[in-house]
């Protein structure tokens, strides 16, 4: 079986999403011992990046199942809910706390990635349509 066939499989993306969620959960379970940010709002950039990737994976999963009518909405809601549950989880970890602004950064990252993918897909479809005419 070719590698490209494995990567296009819905099962691959499903397990990639599960593994990534487990990785986020693991990181959120760790007590922080970071001396300080290297730059202003570094943690928010990390949150936005992490949840942008989570939204991408969720979109790939949702897009591979025909019974999910709006894969973008599903992926966005998944990122929103997982981010909220992650912040709640952190409230129980010694040395960690829940922060609404971390969740806002999570939602922002998911939103930026999903909107970007949507725009790029629309542009690609329009270009393909124009080439066929």
Q: For 37-49, give the DSSP string.
A: -SSTTHHHHHHHH
Q: Phi/psi class of residue 95: alpha, beta or left (left: φ > 0; alpha: ψ in -120 to 50)?
A: left
pLDDT computed for residue 60 by the predictor = 94
- What's the pLDDT tens digit per position in 55-103? 999 999 998 876 667 999 999 999 999 999 999 999 999 988 899 999 9
Report the distance separating Cα 35 and Cα 22, nearest Å: 25
Residue 37 has pLDDT above 70, yes or no: no
pLDDT computed for residue 3 by the predictor = 55
- Mean pLDDT of the 50-55 span: 98
pLDDT > 90 fraction of the chain, expressed in percent and rounded: 62
125 vs 12, higher pLDDT: 12
Residue 132 has pLDDT above 90, yes or no: no
Confidence band, pLDDT 50/70/90 cuts, at residue 33: low
pLDDT > 70 fraction of the chain, expressed in percent and rounded: 87
- Mean pLDDT of the 14-31 span: 95
pTM: 0.86
- Name the burial class of residue 98, with classes exposed (0-12), middle (13-18) and buried (19+) by CB atoms within 10 angstroms of its CB: middle
């Amino acid at each position: 079986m070719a590698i490209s066939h494995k990567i296009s499989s819905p099962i691959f993306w499903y397990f990639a999403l599960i593994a990534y969620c487990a990785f986020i959960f693991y990181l959120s379970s760790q007590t922080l011992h970071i001396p300080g940010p290297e730059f202003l709002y570094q943690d928010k950039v990390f949150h936005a990046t992490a949840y942008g990737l989570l939204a991408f994976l969720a979109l790939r999963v949702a897009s591979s199942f025909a019974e999910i009518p709006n894969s973008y909405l599903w992926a966005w809601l998944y990122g929103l809910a997982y981010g909220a549950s992650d912040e709640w989880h952190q409230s129980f970890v010694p040395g960690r706390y829940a922060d609404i602004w971390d969740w806002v950064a999570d939602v922002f990252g998911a939103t930026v990635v999903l909107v970007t993918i949507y725009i790029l897909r629309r542009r690609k479809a329009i270009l393909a349509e124009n080439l066929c005419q």
